[in-house]
Structure 1
Amino acid sequence: MAELNPKMRLGFGAMRLPLLNPDDPSSIDVETFSRMIDSYLEQGFNYIDTAYPYHKEHSEEAVCEALVKRYPRDSYLLADKMPTFLVKGPEDYERFFATQLERCQVEYFDYYLLHNMGKDRFEETTRYGGFEFMKKLKAEGKARHIGFSFHDKPEVLDAILTAHPEMEFVQIQLNYIDWESNIIQSKNCLEVARKHGKPVIVMEPIKGGGLVNLPEEAAKLLKDHDPEASIASWAIRFAASQEGVMMVLSGMSAPDQLADNTSYMKEFRPLSAEELAVLDKVVEILRQSSAIPCTSCKYCVDECPMNINIPGYFSVYNLMKQYGTNNFPQMHYNRQAQGHGAASDCIECHSCEGHCPQHIKITEHLKEIASIFEKK
């Protein structure tokens, strides 16, 4: 059976595979993907991550063609995920899992995850017996290691790991712009996982490509410090440098991306204090370029009669404006809304604006945010 090499910490994420038609996510270029798999494995890496919904439900089949049919089962580690967002009752777990085994044409998964856990999904999964199903898979040898991917607040992660210590690992979004973000809270989530002794797999280290296309001033800082290093390498090395991280996934969609990532991850070198200081300056530039200059002081919330999560909504809006829709802004808006009034609940009393040190026209921005995230 293949083992995880602690020195080879670059995982191949099958979420953004090469396409024959850029407008059709299901048109995976299996030939190019196969060549990329060949290069990846030849260099000693061996962790491939897929999921039920990726590429309009064609990622698992592409992994089968490019990997499973072409290499011995004990030469790689395959990770897949239970589509918890599609589960409507206890009987669905077995059905979805059987489909995934068939699509991948394997008898077991090395790493198997409950996909996209958060507060609501944790409650649903508990109610439907999802954690018991995961333990059953492990006992039967159909899932060698069980865990979950996570998108929510650190306190929710703490609750899940406290209730289910049998979960062996956690997959979280972690990158240098989300490190201290009040939405993603990468640092705090990592600290929770470490507190529970759970190794972490990192997703979105480059924030869906957003940390490659930096403002000119930020990109110049990185290139001036190390002209030979790619912009992407800074983000992936930042994630891999964190204590407790066992694997960093990269959704590589072209051979040149694979060649770049493997070039510096074969002999991984953690970021130095000097390099981290450069990244701090990059983060500051990115924050200053935000569409809404909110500092999340929360003075506006104190007097809001509708209990609207104004800083939370502004953070989601800024993330979408800077990095596009790759990081699921609608999901983050919905979670920021839990227990709060929606942006459209604003009664235009303007009390918030009287308390805002940045003099932001909050009411106008809330209208725009409502028009984006509350479409019926």
Structure 2
Amino acid sequence: MSELTKEMPKKLGFGCMRLPVTDGSTENINDAAFCEMIDSYIEQGFKYFDTAYPYHNGRSEEAVGRCLVQRYARDRFFLASKMPVWLVKEYADYGKYFEEQLKKCQVEYFDFYLLHAMNKDRVKEAENLGGFQFVQSMKAEGKIRHIGFSFHDKADVLDEILTNHPEMEFVQLQINYYDWESENVQSRKCYEVAEKHGVPVIVMEPVKGGTLANMVGEPARILSALDENASYASYAVRYAASLPNVILVLSGMSDLKQLQDNTAYMKDFQPLTDKEQQAIGKVVEELEKLPTIPCTNCRYCVEGCPKKIRIPDIFGVYNMGVQFGVTDVTRGSYRCQIDGSGKAGDCIKCGKCEAQCPQHLEIRKLLEEAADIYEKEMHL
């Protein structure tokens, strides 16, 4: 058992990427609702909060400072944040962003600190600019307790990073039962690489951006037959938490109801049974029959889009159409997603979005398909 495993009281982490907002704007976080969620989470013995520089257009860290740090003693919680490596142009930038993050969060140190969204290109940039040395120096100064990185690439790249950087204490991976055997995401292969190196894993996207929480048809029937009172999300989170080398599973909870559901089954966590594992295998078979877009709503693609297209929101409507049919409801949802922003048909195919997509989706082609489905019929 690793030292980090011993340190983690429970396996559910509070992801601060999809916090409650007041008026639909990602920047206007609902502090009262967030505080209520924090209180419920901490009262039940959980303590890990995960934020990052870009979350909520830069407002997540500030909200954590107001709603968590100002209201609780420092030993009541673990706080994790991440270095926006894509913004770093020279070594001095690491210190600039790091100090800004400490100030936003109103803390003197981070319990866990990650180089954010590493892939083959970004790890080379971080090595050339001294990113790995920087986090080690901050750890030596006591401003970081544990150093690691989040990762979006193939297993061979992860193997190279962990081989070259044994100082990394943990890695954050996208793991869920739908992506477990995916050649695109390579959840299983990446997990096995971390296990080989003896590096503990923190899981992100266990519910695949909410996809695995909203089952219909045969997948819903299969899971409901196990326990009609258990949420679909519970099986996804418990699947990830059942992996031996996983020390924590992050859930980006948006309201108190989601939090109460997650904490109910993770407070006294029980690994999946053989019967539940078999049922999930059947669910995956059914899901693979549906041609939905495997978008996780990370929103990296939205930044820099010259036409201001809310790509994940449009994909969400597209998937609703696949699952439930193109109806007045999905048409209305599409109108909402393009209100005040670009529509799918506005795409100029510049490719900036695809360069940022951790899922390596063919976004330009998919936007064209969404435009064909909704915009022609609705004369938009």
Length-normalised TM-score, structure 2: 0.78
User: Separation in 1 of the partners of 2:359 and 2:208?
Assistant: 19
Match of 1:288, SS state, is coil
| Among 315, 330, 346, the residue aligned to 2:354 | 330
Matches within 5 A, 1:112-123: 112-123=113-124
User: Separation in 2 of the partners of 1:72 and 1:3?
Assistant: 22
2:186 counterpart of 1:185: yes
8 Å CA contact 2:11–2:248 kept in 1: the answer is yes
| Among 365, 368, 373, the residue aligned to 1:368 | 365
The match for 1:26 is 27
Question: How much has 1:90 moved relative to structure 2?
Answer: 1.2
Matches within 5 A, 1:221-300: 221-290=222-291
Q: Which has the larger radius of gyration?
A: 1
8 Å CA contact 2:234–2:265 kept in 1: the answer is yes
The match for 1:39 is 40
Match of 2:272, SS state, is coil
Q: 1:57 and 1:273, CA in 2 relative to 1: closer, same or farther beyond 3 A?
A: same
2:179 counterpart of 1:139: no
Question: How much has 1:368 moved relative to structure 2?
Answer: 3.3
Question: How much has 1:370 moved relative to structure 2?
Answer: 9.0
Letter in 1 for 2:21: L
Match of 2:79, SS state, is strand
The aligned length equals 316
User: Separation in 1 of the partners of 2:8 and 2:320?
Assistant: 31
The match for 2:12 is 10
Letter in 1 for 2:10: M
Question: How much has 1:214 moved relative to structure 2?
Answer: 2.0
Q: 1:43 and 1:50, CA in 2 relative to 1: closer, same or farther beyond 3 A?
A: same
User: Separation in 2 of the partners of 1:319 and 1:28?
Assistant: 22
Q: 1:319 and 1:239, CA in 2 relative to 1: closer, same or farther beyond 3 A?
A: farther
The match for 1:347 is none
Match of 2:145, SS state, is strand
Matches within 5 A, 1:78-93: 78-93=79-94
Question: How much has 1:258 moved relative to structure 2?
Answer: 0.5
- 1:212-242 deviation per Cα after TM superposition (whole angstroms, max 9, x unaligned): 1223211111011211211110100001001
User: Separation in 1 of the partners of 2:192 and 2:316?
Assistant: 23
Question: How much has 1:11 moved relative to structure 2?
Answer: 0.2
- 1:257-300 deviation per Cα after TM superposition (whole angstroms, max 9, x unaligned): 000000000110100111011001100011011259xxxxxxxx
**Structure 1 unaligned spans of 5+:** 293-317, 338-342, 344-365
8 Å CA contact 1:319–1:329 kept in 2: the answer is no
Q: 1:52 and 1:196, CA in 2 relative to 1: closer, same or farther beyond 3 A?
A: same
Question: How much has 1:192 moved relative to structure 2?
Answer: 0.4
Letter in 1 for 2:22: L
8 Å CA contact 2:155–2:193 kept in 1: the answer is yes
User: Separation in 2 of the partners of 1:146 and 1:4?
Assistant: 16
**Structure 2 unaligned spans of 5+:** 294-314, 322-351, 371-380
Letter in 2 for 1:368: K
Question: How much has 1:331 moved relative to structure 2?
Answer: 4.8
The match for 1:149 is 150
The match for 2:112 is 111
Letter in 1 for 2:264: S
8 Å CA contact 1:11–1:249 kept in 2: the answer is yes
8 Å CA contact 1:78–1:111 kept in 2: the answer is yes
8 Å CA contact 2:113–2:148 kept in 1: the answer is yes
Letter in 2 for 1:142: K
8 Å CA contact 2:16–2:55 kept in 1: the answer is yes
Letter in 1 for 2:34: F
Q: 1:48 and 1:368, CA in 2 relative to 1: closer, same or farther beyond 3 A?
A: closer
Q: Percent identity?
A: 53
Q: 1:3 and 1:238, CA in 2 relative to 1: closer, same or farther beyond 3 A?
A: closer
Question: How much has 1:67 moved relative to structure 2?
Answer: 0.5
User: Separation in 2 of the partners of 1:112 and 1:140?
Assistant: 14
